[in-house]
Amino acid sequence: MDCQMDHELEMTNSYRVEVSGWDASENFFVETTILNWSGDEGKQISLRSPVREGCVVFVRLLRPFVNADSIPVAYQVAELVEQEASGRTTVRLAQLYPREPVTRTAETPKDSAIPVA
């Protein structure tokens, strides 16, 4: 881990994470970075891989001496915040949640292709 990552870890609400997804060129990437979480700015990460606003990334918490099987959480890149001189991009994340299942309503025709839950 480099000096910058060590300094960022000392800040409150900073966590080592593994981020994976598809970059702007549609190539799959996996990288380790720091997730900064503040009330004002939400969740932000700095990535080497170029990503686009709206893309989906998966973030998995890396905790030393704990079960390495933490579950990745899906996020959407909500905003490209800053392009750094080093080539890294700081992005703001918005957590994604599962959609509600589609159910038949009184307005839905009986022969609709929508499956009944």
Whats the size of the chain, residue-wise? 117
Q: Does 115 reside within a domain?
A: no
Provide the CATH number for the domain around residue 88.
Answer: 2.30.110.10
Quote the domain boundaries for residue 51. Answer: 3-95
Q: Does 111 reside within a domain?
A: no
Quote the pLDDT of residue 16: 94
pLDDT in tens, 31-66: 999 999 988 789 999 999 999 999 999 999 998 766
Average pLDDT over residues 26-31: 96
Whether the model clears a pTM of 0.85, i.e. scores above it, the answer is no
108/104 Cα distance (integer angstroms) = 6
Q: Does 66 reside within a domain?
A: yes
Q: Does 43 reside within a domain?
A: yes
Q: Does 63 reside within a domain?
A: yes
The DSSP letter of residue 93 is E
pLDDT in tens, 60-93: 999 876 666 789 999 999 999 988 889 899 999 9
Count the domains in the chain: 1
Q: Does 82 reside within a domain?
A: yes
Q: Does 117 reside within a domain?
A: no
DSSP string, 38-66: ETTTEEEEEESS---TT-EEEEEE--TTS
Q: Does 48 reside within a domain?
A: yes
Query: Which of 70, 83, 76 lies closest to 97, judged by CA?
Result: 76
109/54 Cα distance (integer angstroms) = 33
Query: Which of 30, 33, 38 lies closest to 15, judged by CA?
Result: 33
Question: Residue 115 belongs to what H/E stretch?
Answer: none
H helix intervals, the chain:
3-10
